[in-house]
Structure 1
């Protein structure tokens, strides 16, 4: 009977070892499957992050699972949607500003032509004189006709009118 009990213990021991090995093999396979799933999901997030960093705002992770990685993927995709929406809005505003700028430049060019036409056809001339009595840009063409000499910006007012002594003429300064 002792022999028989020893044989039963040995059989139970072998059976326990077999079940332990099966459980260990099953656990190892389950561990590998779970690890590969986690690695694949983290790699998808990492890949999408790299694509976004390189300027591809179309990249998405795709929501998967209800765990923390799934929540992270959903949050990442939502953030990317917001960034893309803001980027598109900025592009639209930039295009609007370019249109406004072109319209302003066109209006300035048209007004400049109008002002130059008026200045070149006035009967009376005028000079713009700076604080140190040098002629400034913006004098009318009539000045040259009236003075009978070439008028140019930067020219000295005294030289233009051949004034040697500033006491020969009264100049009034207008303070801004």
Structure 2
């Protein structure tokens, strides 16, 4: 019974069954008392009939039988069930009893019974019969039927309600704790029904909220850190401006450009994470877009004694935002160029695989520590804790890549290549 639907269904079904069984049981109990009373009454009449038969014969006995109340009429039969006197009884009862005259209670049909009592001291043997039909068996009083219905349904309904509300109260307390700022509260349990599944979803939501808040705190901390360096250099450049005006102005312009680029990336990442950056989907020739990125990256890499090549045998087309896609791919390729070894080549591969466009970018650098790979696509994540730009860490670029790819319904992953370097793979649905 792991399903809430099953529990509710079985509860109502069991309620109906128990209600029916209870009604039948009480009816049988009341009917049994009536039959027992009728059996005692018929035994007393059999003694009277036997005395009348012995003293006055059939005529006296017949007058006595006809004088019985309409609702308590009895019938006198012989040992094979044939009427001795002219009396009426249902043919079904006589056929059922024919040849089987035994004192006692004999059911003859649904709600019908025939009671048989022997006349003592009479020869040949005679028997007195009384037929009870549903009209003579007692109906359960209305108040008793209502009481049974209320009792059975109330008990099972209370059990079901207690089961549900107890767990919902636990979930409510957890929601109140979460609203109060307790991000450690958990209510899910293994297995269970839909309520437990809801509790596990609540736990997942709590984890997600905690991660978002942690990311926000880290983002604010890292943005403050990243802004501190160019601002400090700006102040120094301003102090030196009096001595060397032209060189200082160039430096100020460079630092301003870096600040603008950083702020632009932060805003782009914020829009992607909040879902406010609407995709301008159109048909994109992905192979051409990747070729443009590789050409530009290779031109820049040549100045650093590095190169970038592309292996793309397929013409791949998909519906997407060309600006976001270019930014996502370009960030990965530029990071690979920055970290690959001098005199080495960054390999970019594009192919289609079962309805998915796969872009693989491999550098020939030193790779990434395994414990840092899982954080590569987080904002301001770096290989090491150092924040200097010369540390070779990963900043906002890969975080933007991750969010942009996710916005297109794809995924991005990174692994250390067995032969050295880092392999980043982007998968986009076609």
Instruction: Flag the structure with higher strand content.
Output: 2
Work out which of the two has the higher radius of gyration on C-alpha atoms and give 1 or 2: 2
Instruction: Flag the structure with higher helix content.
Output: 1
